[in-house]
Structure 1
Amino acid sequence: MARSTPNHRPSRASRIVLHLCLLQFGTALGTCFAGAALAQSTLPPVDIEPPAQRRAAPVARPAPAARAAAAPRRQAARRASPARAVPRQAAAPAPASTAAPLERGDGPVPGFVASRTTSGTKTDTPLMETPQAVTVISADQINTQKARSISEAIRYAPGVKSEPFGNDTRNDWFNLRGFQAEQRGLYLDNLQLFSTAFATFKLEPFGMERIEVLRGPSAVLYGGGNPGGLINAISKKPLSTPSNYVETGVDNFGRVYGAFDFTGPVRPQDWKIGDGEFYYRMVGLAGAGGTQTAHTSNDRYYIAPSFTWKPNEGTTLTVLGSFTQDYTNGQNFLPYKGSVIPAEFGKIPTRTFTSDRGLDRFNRTQAFLGYELEHKFDDIFTFRQNVRYSYLDIDFRTVYGFGANPAGDLTRINFETRPRVNMFNVDNNVEAKFNTGLLSHTTLLGLDYRRYNLADNQGTIFPGTPFNLITGIGLPNPRVPKTNRYISGRYVQDQLGVYLQDQIKFDRFTLVLSGRYDMVDTDSKDFLTPVNSVKGQEGRFSGRAGLIYTSEWGIAPYVSYSNSFNPQVGVYNPDARRGVDLGNRLPLRSEKGEQYEAGVKWQPQGFNGHIGIAAFDLRRQNAVTTGFPLIASQAGEVRSKGIEFEVVANPFPGLNIVGSYTTFDIEVTRDELKPETVGRVPVRTPQQFGGIFFDYTFQDGPLAGFGFGGGVRYVGRSYATETNYNAVNLLEGARVPAYTLGDAQVHYERNGWRFAVNMTNITDEKYVGGCADLTSCYYGERRRVTGSISYRW
């Protein structure tokens, strides 16, 4: 099947004008807003006051005893994050919060408990004033759990099911509110990391200051994306005071790693570069070794330098770069019978490697380079520009399984691909804070642009040589010749969007109104089948409205409505519904998402933490489906509705708790090509999951510095077929059983040194994380024990 990428192909003249507009947008928009402020005398009178002069709603303050009890927590937080972020602007006070006052929505989190976010509104906003479900995972939580991937870091977050393909060292996989989201739902510093085919970006959690999970349609601020939400990782950036950290460790699979994180100020007299303040940060990690699967490595080399220049109090420029090199292997595709249930020969060992040692490899080269610019004109206007260039090159060869017979002979497919991606993102916005009478406004006007360019090719030999699951012996496979390519093309997508948002506060109410219009163009070139080469263009409007009330008791009920669109890659057959193929091809239209959400957030007075519950009703329309003929069609709709619960708390010094539970009903509500799937649950989609994790460190006495903790994770059953049953053998079924896993850790910290032992899956459960079909099931990771030593000064 040919693939394409929605892409804007304006004329040469219009492209030149577009690029010039983007380059000049910052200066021009700032000038326009400043001019508008100066020209107020010619407009109808409006009461505009700087934010400092607003009449703020009453805020509950902690009692003196609560402030005294919070002091050790603040000291512990400073030890966890000893350097404060570079203050680019003063943050508004968070109501009833005992978090560190210098916390920014895109900066370090003191401990596990965040009070602010930028992902929900693109402005620095308290979580208690954001009418949408948002979860913040701090760098401290990532480090405590020793998460090695984004998938591991989000295991305890509500609404997000990580690792639906089991233990895969190649990619981060996750579902949000039941919808597969990693291709359109992964963001770095508010800019999308668009992925398709096998061209997948992967982030290093050690390089992140925080990971934010924003649930529900979010296209109104970010453009095309998954209807279930997004994950926005925030990079570590230079800090204003010196901090140095080194760490090394090893696990029971033989993987050894080392990491470092250095940051602090730079003296300008040493650099001879003029006035201002200068800060640097250098983050790096190198790890190499094995995994639970034989002949499968997990090697990663990561370096991320950054540099901040503050020429004056109102201006900050931060340059961010990173380079990542991954060396690993393909994943086992195992039959349902032999992994989920026993086959005639029993169950396949988790250590079995079913590919070809002489052929198999997955190498990723990934690089980012960009900057974040912020300039505060006055107490009203602030301009921001966020720019990044991304490069990706993947070399993937594998031989994967395609079902086995009772004698244990596994049919294999020899596969090879080499995608390359060049992507450019720029996001410009101006924030204005002002009052009109009794209403306080935080208004955001923005223009963003993204260009995604993918050169893709995929080839196969079917069948490849067989492999016997009993003896573990398979014949070698040749490289896939170029004549066996079934995909060879170039796909370009241009997306230009303009958005407007107003956060309106009246007393304790906050109303958020957002609107956006996007233009998305497609240029899909299929070099093998030119008839599948298409160009297309479409415009989409996205909107959101949310209202939240923050009471003096710290209870904040909210309601919201949002819709979104998700540009697709590929072509479809408009005649598929009639069961014919007349050779007509059209570019895939964008999928659409629509959601109603209601919830309650609770942050008790004097309590460092918050509790939340959210109910949602979400629909995904124009879903891409396949049937006869084997050309994609857009005749699908899926509905997901459910409830999420979350708690994040530091109830007393030394104790941190995170927990969540998600339950929802998801089903296919329309599919004209495959009506037998209507009313069924999509594959790899458990409808219940949750977990709770805690960590406690003694604050004084003879055990001061010693800590321990653990967690329990539960994932409900899922299905291995679209119909939720096995059409070949009804006695075997198609359910993938639920599983429960435990995690644990012990650690000791003294004089900057920290010694820790972390365990995941402590009972060494052998389980299947999910199945794509009856020939493609994937084991989860067995028990992993990691010992580490770190030093901070």
Structure 2
Amino acid sequence: MQSLAFRTTALWTTLFALTFAAPLHAQENPEAEDSSNTLRTTKDGNTIVVTAKAYVSDSSLSANKTDIPLIQSPQSVSVISRDQIDLLNFIDVQQAVRYSAGVTGENYGPDLRYDFLTVRGFIPKQYIDGLVAPSTTTIASTGVDLYAFDSVEILKGPASTLYGSTPPGGIYNQTSRRANDEFDGEIRGKVGTDDYYELAGTLTGPIVDGISARLTGLYLNRGSERDFVDAERIMVAPTFSFDIGPDTALTVNGYYQKDIIDGEMNGFLPVAGTLRPNPNGELPRSVNLGDPSNRFEREQYAIGASFRHDFSSNVSLLSSIRYNDYDEKTPQNIYGGGGFTNPTDPSQPDYFRTIGRFNFTYTEEVEALSSDTRIDAEFETGALTHKFIAGVDYRRVVNVADFGFFFDPQPIDAFDPVFTPIITPAVLYPTSFNNQRLRQTGIYAQDQIGLGNLFLTLGARQDWVNIANRTTNTDTDQKAFTWRAGLNYVTQSGLAPYVSYARSFEPVLGIDAVTNEPFKESSGKQFEGGIKYDGRTLGGNVDIFATAALFHIRQTNVVATAPSTTPVFGTQSGEVESTGIEMELAARISNQVAFNGSYSFTDSKITKNASNPLEVGEPLPVTPRHRLALFGNYTVQQGMLGGLGLGMGVRYSSKSAGSLPGPFNPLVYNADASLLFDAIVSYDTPKWRFAINGSNIFDQRYVGRCASATGCNFGAGRQVIGTATYKF
């Protein structure tokens, strides 16, 4: 790896070159967004005011692909803004959803590579700037760094009408920082527990008349709660905005990220000594049965463009396109697995101590091209108003993945690990795991029809999907029609009751073992009803947005696998249901008090599985029935302590199943319930912000998940990070 000094010097040389090249005058840019550096501090005499104008969001482009306010959207949406991210010091999306309803993160503990999430019991699909991210064959996350983005939006429930193939639980969309036509920026440094060191910055402003730019960069070097782990990351994200004319704008943006992680990040720990007692005592949370010479390498880049042309004040054309290249490899991944080698004879010294070792090597390359082009129109027909969109989107994804799996005859002592050399295989990735190309084309339309304060939203979509599997030389065509409808009424007081119905679909690969026919697409449907409240009607410096929702999701045509000779095969006999209640609140009052609160009750279960009746009635993995999270922050505005901020948060999660029962996994282990506390101390001046953020400050030890008797992971322990930010 290159040295820290070399990389940081190169990064900051580029940043400051852009700084001094940028003229300090502003040019009108109809496409430019407000600066993403919105957590601002001003001083008037002895009064310090910290403004966070985007802390409470009132809109989400993800929900409707047009500028319909959240209060008029008949569906639950959680928006974590850049202001919230900065105040609570979230370092990845897994942490960012801690105070959101219906969303569970950190499902494998504090993973350094990916964002593991579930929404209403289902794994969501990741989007970036409204276009699908190139997730790998096995992981629905690209692990892009949160610092490059302005917000994270979680659209809950089926979203296929606008986005094509999506899971029934929903999607999450990350919105990139954009260029601004006013000079603005920051430099930020972080130091924290587990050898956390980070240097980052973002800078934006006009270059010449009609062209603005932003450059965001980050260098990160950190360890882990586990021993023998060292991770490095470099990220650079440039973007340019062009004012082609008074009615036309073009934005071009790029993204580059490289990750190198030495050591085993998560590993597979046994249930005895983590979730359950071990005669030798508890395993320490820092234990790492993987090898220090393990290595994970990932390099990804993207280049995209978005174009907008206004034909009139009421009709616009919007088009976006992005190319992604994602490569990851694990040339060595030695881990402890298979359980204890001696769980029966207490007279032997290896009784509940030694564990077998395996080496799982993996490589994958993903190329993806995605686009979305639509017409956005507003018009009236008599007493009715219309916000209408119609468009077509396309995606082409090629995944090539190979792996190797090797057994090491030398076990390791879980309580006193000694890492003996393992034989490196001559061929690292001897077996093909996946080699397929997916093409999907969808046409869609949606109309929001308004009659006074009553709004009816109707949408429909047709998709065509082709999947070519080059390993099996099979070619599968699937198609699906999806639609959604919603009705809501917005009162003058800011209350808005709503009801909605939506459908989703996902392609399924393979042949049904019972019918010998190609699998059909899996489909989902959801009924949702609730009420929203926009407290901006109260006036003054009061921003409040609250949502309460009831939902019921049913997914059908789920492939239920059955044990057999290799390969494992299945039939589409599975059905899943998820029913729940969600309440969420975000508030910012008088530029002095910030508050977030959420509660979720989720009752998920398998309702049908002819191949494995043991699953019927069992909850979906990593889906706690109860989640409660509260956070409050207060900033002193006057006197000697002006600028001092204090915050406290509490998060409760009930136990959750780590897996579904089956012939290969007959016992289900429920992860611990957890009660965690967070705290913030900060001090703001007009140019500087200093903060110390602590999560799980009492360092509660708990197991986040046990996917099997040999696959347990500890939940995130105490993390304390100090941050110093200088604002231009």
Task: Calculate the TM-score normalised by the size of structure 1.
Answer: 0.81
2:315 to 366, 369, 381: 381
Shift of 1:124: 1.1
Aligned to 1:521: 466
Letter in 1 for 2:482: S
Conserved 8 A contact 2:192-2:722:
yes
Conserved 8 A contact 2:665-2:708:
no
Aligned to 1:75: none
Cα distance change of structure 1 residues 291 and 499 upon mapping to structure 2, 3 Å threshold: same
Conserved 8 A contact 2:478-2:507:
no
1:544 to 484, 487, 490: 484
Aligned to 2:355: 410
Q: Deviations over 1:728-749 (max 9, x none)?
A: 78xxx73222001111111111
Q: What secondary structure is seen at the aligned counterpart in 2 of 1:547?
A: strand
Aligned to 1:735: 670
Residue 259 (1) aligns with residue 200 (2): yes
Q: What secondary structure is seen at the aligned counterpart in 1 of 2:64?
A: coil
Distance 2:624 2:277 in 1: 22
1:698 to 636, 653, 662: 636
Residue 574 (1) aligns with residue 513 (2): yes
Q: Deviations over 1:301-330 (max 9, x none)?
A: 100000000122211100010100112244
Distance 2:672 2:502 in 1: 34
Q: Deviations over 1:572-621 (max 9, x none)?
A: 4423x8xxxxxx6x654322110000010012322411111000000111
Shift of 1:775: 1.4
Aligned to 2:525: 594
Conserved 8 A contact 1:84-1:239:
no
Residue 768 (1) aligns with residue 711 (2): no
1:336 to 271, 294, 300: 271
Q: What secondary structure is seen at the aligned counterpart in 2 of 1:773?
A: coil
Q: Deviations over 1:145-200 (max 9, x none)?
A: 1111111111111111111111211211000001122xxx1110001114233465
Shift of 1:289: 2.4
Cα distance change of structure 1 residues 757 and 464 upon mapping to structure 2, 3 Å threshold: farther
Conserved 8 A contact 2:120-2:623:
no
Within a 5 Å distance, the mapping from 1:617-766 to structure 2 comes to: 617-629=552-564, 630-723=568-661, 734-766=669-701
Cα distance change of structure 1 residues 347 and 634 upon mapping to structure 2, 3 Å threshold: farther
Shift of 1:488: 4.4
Q: Deviations over 1:541-574 (max 9, x none)?
A: 0100001100111110000000010123x42442
Distance 1:728 1:534 in 2: 34
Cα distance change of structure 1 residues 590 and 632 upon mapping to structure 2, 3 Å threshold: same
Within a 5 Å distance, the mapping from 1:187-202 to structure 2 comes to: 187-198=127-138, 200-202=141-143
Q: What secondary structure is seen at the aligned counterpart in 2 of 1:144?
A: helix
Aligned to 1:372: 306
1:509 to 454, 473, 480: 454
Cα distance change of structure 1 residues 500 and 218 upon mapping to structure 2, 3 Å threshold: same
Residue 151 (1) aligns with residue 94 (2): yes
Shift of 1:426: 0.5
Conserved 8 A contact 1:522-1:587:
no
Conserved 8 A contact 1:412-1:463:
yes
Higher relative strand content = 2
Aligned to 1:101: none
Q: What secondary structure is seen at the aligned counterpart in 1 of 2:270?
A: coil
Aligned to 1:309: 242
Aligned to 2:232: 299
Aligned to 2:107: 164
Q: Which deviates more from structure 2 when the two are superposed, residues 210-219 or residues 293-302?
A: 293-302
1:321 to 246, 250, 254: 254
Residue 112 (1) aligns with residue 55 (2): yes
Shift of 1:483: 8.3
1:472 to 394, 398, 417: 417
Shift of 1:786: 0.7
1:790 to 702, 706, 725: 725
Conserved 8 A contact 2:602-2:623:
no
Letter in 2 for 1:791: Y
Residue 350 (1) aligns with residue 293 (2): no
Letter in 2 for 1:334: L
Residue 278 (1) aligns with residue 218 (2): no
Q: What secondary structure is seen at the aligned counterpart in 2 of 1:125?
A: coil
Distance 1:501 1:552 in 2: 26
Distance 1:283 1:522 in 2: 36
Letter in 2 for 1:538: Q
Shift of 1:90: 12
1:127 to 62, 70, 75: 70
Q: What secondary structure is seen at the aligned counterpart in 1 of 2:62?
A: coil
Conserved 8 A contact 1:336-1:776:
yes
Q: Which deviates more from structure 2 when the two are superposed, residues 598-607 or residues 472-481?
A: 472-481
Q: Deviations over 1:438-492 (max 9, x none)?
A: 0111110100000000111111013564211021124322334438734344210
2:430 to 461, 469, 485: 485
Distance 1:789 1:588 in 2: 54
Distance 2:690 2:107 in 1: 32
Conserved 8 A contact 2:216-2:237:
yes
Shift of 1:686: 1.4
Cα distance change of structure 1 residues 553 and 319 upon mapping to structure 2, 3 Å threshold: same
Distance 2:249 2:113 in 1: 36
Q: What secondary structure is seen at the aligned counterpart in 1 of 2:589?
A: coil
Residue 249 (1) aligns with residue 193 (2): no
Distance 1:254 1:571 in 2: 46
Distance 1:651 1:599 in 2: 25
Aligned to 1:37: none
Distance 2:570 2:215 in 1: 46
1:289 to 222, 226, 246: 222
Shift of 1:685: 2.2
Distance 2:28 2:272 in 1: 53
Distance 1:176 1:286 in 2: 30
1:564 to 492, 498, 504: 504
Which sections of structure 2, spanning at least 5 residues, go unmatched? 1-25, 35-50, 344-350
Shift of 1:632: 3.9
Higher relative helix content = 1
Conserved 8 A contact 1:724-1:734:
no
Letter in 2 for 1:536: T
Conserved 8 A contact 1:414-1:464:
no
Calculate the aligned-residue CA RMSD, in Å.
Answer: 2.2
Aligned to 1:553: 493
Distance 1:141 1:362 in 2: 31
Task: Calculate the TM-score normalised by the size of structure 2.
Answer: 0.88
Within a 5 Å distance, the mapping from 1:5-16 to structure 2 comes to: none
Conserved 8 A contact 2:363-2:429:
no
Shift of 1:650: 1.1
Distance 1:597 1:85 in 2: 42
How many positions carry a matched residue from both structures?
A: 666
